[in-house]
Structure 1
Amino acid sequence: MTILAALVDGPSDLGPRQAPPLPGATTTPRRSRRPLCRRTLSSWLTSWWAVALRGLDLLTSVAGLVLVALAVAGFFSLTAAGTGIMLLTPALWGAWALGQAERHVLAAFTGTDIGPSPVSPAPTWRRALGLDMVRLRALGWAALHWVWALVASAVVLALLTTSLTLLATPLLRPFAGSETVEVLWFASVSSPVEYAVTWLVGLVTFLVLPWLARGTANVDIALARWLVGADPQSELRAMRGRVQTLTTTREEAVDSVEAERRRIERDLHDGPQQRLVSIAMNLGLARTLLDSDADSARALLDEAHASSKEAIVEMRQVARGIVPPILADRGLDAAVSALAVRSPVPVEVTSRLRERLDPTVEAIAYFCISEALTNVAKHAGASTARVDLGLSPTLEGERLAITVSDDGRGGAVVGGGSGLTGLRQRIAAVDGELHVHSPRGGGTTVAIALPLRGRRTA
């Protein structure tokens, strides 16, 4: 390989040397041809793996033909007391296994990864019988693969054999019994010019063949990505839905933050601010009356002292709506238990959490539970409520599972004025899920799933 590259590039110290540019002169860089030659030679040598792939595809095409024939026989035998499923299921699973093998073959021979294997959302019994979309798509790939692989492999291998035969024709002349040599079934050569032309045709075919095989391998890659890899259309639809969800949740999060800011501002203005103004006025009057009317000044000081205590209580209530101290100090279990104690409806709390969660997740969970219990007290007409906390495993990892249920009148609808709209916005902003089951007269169950961002030990 090194010797061949050296022959292509030529000696590095031969040829005239270019004089250095003069100071201040502008030079235009010239593109060297040696990197291009190296890239071309490397691409040509690498493309021979595609020729080897065509030889292997002869075997996989035969396997695909057998599996398709087995699937067709099983499909038409389904009416015979269902015995065709004994042929159809192995064929579907065999096509899927062949597709997974093709994934590794393409990665080994072409260096191309066709993407992750799709996960079937079908029920377990359908996946076991192979009657899900993943296995059916694999069977479709096997049907197309055996036709394409058989044709492409036959063409590439035939051209390889022909090129080698044409290149070897001049070597066969001394062994021929006459001046004429049969090259192919339709041609023969006898003169030196014909030998030279034959050899040149064989050389050109031999040089072009790897890139032709590479082109056919690209078709294999496209078929595998289409039917064996992840469905690009479903991925595109999922990405489009994800963008729409993120746009909606961003707008709702901005609206929610603005509404929360206005609420805090209103609570501060209507509560502590008025108390502080009253305290300032009483202290000013007490200072004025301190020398002339000590009893009135003392009464004003007592009133200011009582107002300061009330202002502290109101400030604590406002702060509780931002970050409850008990949540930051003792965690979600203690904070939810405190919510249950303050609730006008008796609440039973069950927690299966063994360690502290991320503070952001705990805060979101706390406010979700607080909003849900507020809805129970205002709208449900329930006599008891229940809060359940735990971790739920999913395909994306563990999630915090929250269930708030009551025995009220039911009939709650998201967006129906029951306070669930703000809850849905808060949960959607962090990619959580909200499910509400509220039949009329049967109570309400609110199920919340929040993704876990991290853990911290207690």
Structure 2
Amino acid sequence: MSTLPLDRPAAAAPLRRWAEGWWAVVHLTLHLVVFGLHLTALVLLLVGTALVPVLGVGVLLLWPARRLLALCSRLERYRLAAVLDVHVPAPVRGAAPGPAWRRLVLDARSWRTAGHLAVLLTLGLTGGTLVLALSATGIAALLAPSASAGLGHGGEYGWPYGIPGTLRAPALAVVLAGALLLVVAPVLARALVAVEVLTALALLGPGRGEREAELRRRVDVLTSTRERTVDSVEAERRRIERDLHDGPQQRLVSLAMQLGMAKRALERGGPDAASEHLEAARTSASAAISDMRHVARGIHPPVLTDRGLDAALSALAAASPVAVVDVEVHFPPSERPSSTAEAIAYFCVSEALTNTAKHARASRVVVQLWREGAAAADGGGDLLRLRVSDDGVGGAAPAEGTVASGGSGLRGLGDRLAAVDGWLHLVSPRGGPTVLEAGVPWNAGGGR
């Protein structure tokens, strides 16, 4: 949730805090615009509830009342975000158990919204009227001497913005009073809006039960994610062990055998007899080095650490069996995400290219990466987004498929992304195209 400008550190410049207070003036003034809507929603709810015992007549009013209250709730959250940069999370949707009339009467969200509207109808109306009056009076007082001079009353009030020393005492008092009102109005508005924001956070956001349910859900997700992450790490360990066994280990065994044969040949027939075995040993050593590099790239490619995603993905695309692979990285190299985010994005693209080469029969693949939500200065809430699309035959998953519908490779990527609060989505209808999208927090896992 963004911080309210009213809550900036005390060390902020007083002039800046005063200037930001005018957003609070605007916010309070807007209360006068939406006053009628708020009053209508509150009256409908109260009258409808009161008339429920009268043959259920009130139910006819409660349904539009709930709709109107939901509209008011969305409007207030939008207004707080647009004017004050305060983002109030929406409550979790859910209905109270029991018959329809009981759900209409006992809906906690509607009554909490009604409580908030009751505060706005008093504080908002009073505060909006007060700050509007102070601001208008202050502006009028500053302009009064000039207006009076323009109307021919300069002899009485004096010309305030002309030659120094021509401003007489009555005009000076009016100007100073107007300036004081304009100084006080934003300060008072900030204080009133601070109370309103606290009320909105308490009544328009999720309730205590909803927050506890969300925390329980979060704990369950983290528990499941931790288990899948452990399984994924164990599977990765087994893969590395298998790759080492099937590649470099076999090459090294062959190297040892070739060297042994070269030694025996050298003892029996001299250097000429051993040269063939030494050449075979050199070939085995080169192949072992190549296999080790391949295994190392599968763990974490050095080019990714040294030069970032653009260079690493370009190298990955150059080695892909697919004819054309276009890599588009839409953020400068100086804005590198965390090493964890880079690694996850790299392996997502690697897995997608591998699947495309094996199954898609595609002639072209486009890889796109960009930074989403770069409003925060530190990038704390940003996402590293990626999209891999091809023109293949599709059919990798249903059109609205999720990670679970893909193969084990996609499930592994989904688990790796879920461990850092990321996500993965695959769309691959029969006949294509296939589009894989993923999002990983920009600062996943901490700094570089």
Tell me the TM-score normalised to structure 1 length: 0.54
Between the aligned partners of 2:423 and 2:231, the Cα distance in structure 1 is: 19
Q: 1:225 Cα deviation (Å)?
A: 7.9
Tell me what 1:411 maps to: 395
Q: Is the 8 A contact 1:92 1:135 kept in 2?
A: no
CA shift, 1:143, in A, is 7.8
Tell me how far 1:254 sits from its aligned partner. 0.8
Pick from 372, 379, 382 the counterpart of residue 398 of structure 1: 382
Where does residue 450 of structure 1 map in the other structure? 440
Aligned with residue 351 of structure 1, among 329, 333, 339:
329
Question: d(CA) in 1 for partners of 2:114 and 2:279?
Answer: 87
Say if 2:238 is the partner of 1:298.
Answer: no
The SS at the match of 2:268 is coil
Aligned-pair CA distance for 1:447 = 0.9
Name the amino acid aligned to 1:350.
Answer: E
- What residue ranges of structure 2 are gaps of 5+ in the alignment? 1-34, 48-63, 81-85, 93-106, 121-198, 398-402
Structure 1 residue 278 and structure 2 residue 242: aligned?
A: no
Q: How big is the shift at 1:92?
A: 4.2
In 2, Cα distance between equivalents of 1:262 and 1:384? 33
SS in structure 2 of the partner of residue 343 of structure 1:
coil
CA distance in 2, matches of 1:359, 1:347: 24
2:88 partner letter: P
What secondary structure is seen at the aligned counterpart in 1 of 2:242? helix
Q: Secondary structure at the match of 2:342?
A: helix
Deviation (angstroms), 1:456: 7.7
The AA in structure 2 aligned to 1:252 is R
| Overall identity of the aligned pairs, in % | 48
- 2:271 matches 1:333: no
CA distance in 1, matches of 2:74, 2:425: 39
The 1-side partners of 2:219 and 2:241 are apart by 33
Partner residue, 2:41: 71
Which of residues 257, 271, 274 in structure 1 aligns to 2:233? 257
Look up the match of 1:438: 428
SS at match of 1:436: strand
Q: Distance in 2 between matches of 1:420 and 1:403?
A: 14
Mapping for residues 207-226 of structure 1, pairs under 5 Å:
none
Equivalent in the alignment of 1:38? none
Q: CA deviation at 1:444?
A: 1.1
* Deviation at residue 430 of structure 1 after TM alignment: 1.4
2:297 matched to 1:320?
yes
**Match for 1:448: what amino acid?**
A
1:429 — aligned with what? 419
Is 1:361 aligned to 2:341, yes or no?
yes
Trace 1:23-422 onto structure 2 (pairs within 5 A): 70-71=40-41, 92=72, 118-120=88-90, 136=110, 138-141=112-115, 227-228=203-204, 230-294=206-270, 295-345=272-322, 346-355=324-333, 356-393=336-373, 397-413=381-397, 414-418=403-407, 419-422=409-412
Aligned CA RMSD, in angstroms, stands at 4.4
Q: Deviations over 1:239-284 (max 9, x none)?
A: 1221121111111111111111111111111111111122112212
Change in CA separation of 1:142 and 1:415 when aligned onto 2, cut-off 3 Å: closer
Report the TM-score when normalising by structure 2: 0.55
Query: What is the CA distance between 1:288 and its match in structure 2?
Result: 2.5
Which residue in the other structure is 2:190 paired with? Answer: none
Residue aligning to 2:188: none
What amino acid is the match of 2:395?
G
**Structure 1: how far apart are the matches of 2:43 and 2:291?**
79
Q: Which residue of 2 aligns with 1:188?
A: none
Q: Deviations over 1:316-346 (max 9, x none)?
A: 1111101112112211001111111111112
* Deviation of 1:365 (Å): 1.0
3-state SS, counterpart of residue 349 of structure 1: strand
Structure 1 Cα separation of the partners of residues 371 and 91 of structure 2: 22
Residue type of the partner of 1:310? A
- Aligned AA (1:415): A
Give structure 1 stretches of 5+ with no counterpart.
1-64, 77-83, 101-115, 123-132, 147-222
Alpha-carbon offset, residue 308 of structure 1: 0.7
Instruction: Please give the alpha-carbon distance, in whole angstroms, between the structure 2 residues aligned to 1:66 and 1:442.
Output: 53
Question: Deviation digits for residues 406-451 of structure 1, max 9, x if unmatched?
Answer: 1122222233453321221121121101122222223111111110
SS of the counterpart of 1:415? helix
Which sits farther off after the overlay, 329-338 or 447-456? 447-456
Aligned-pair CA distance for 1:364: 1.2
Corresponding letter in the other structure for 1:389: L
CA distance in 2, matches of 1:376, 1:244: 34
Pick closer, same or farther for the CA change 1:409–1:137 going to 2, 3 Å. Answer: farther
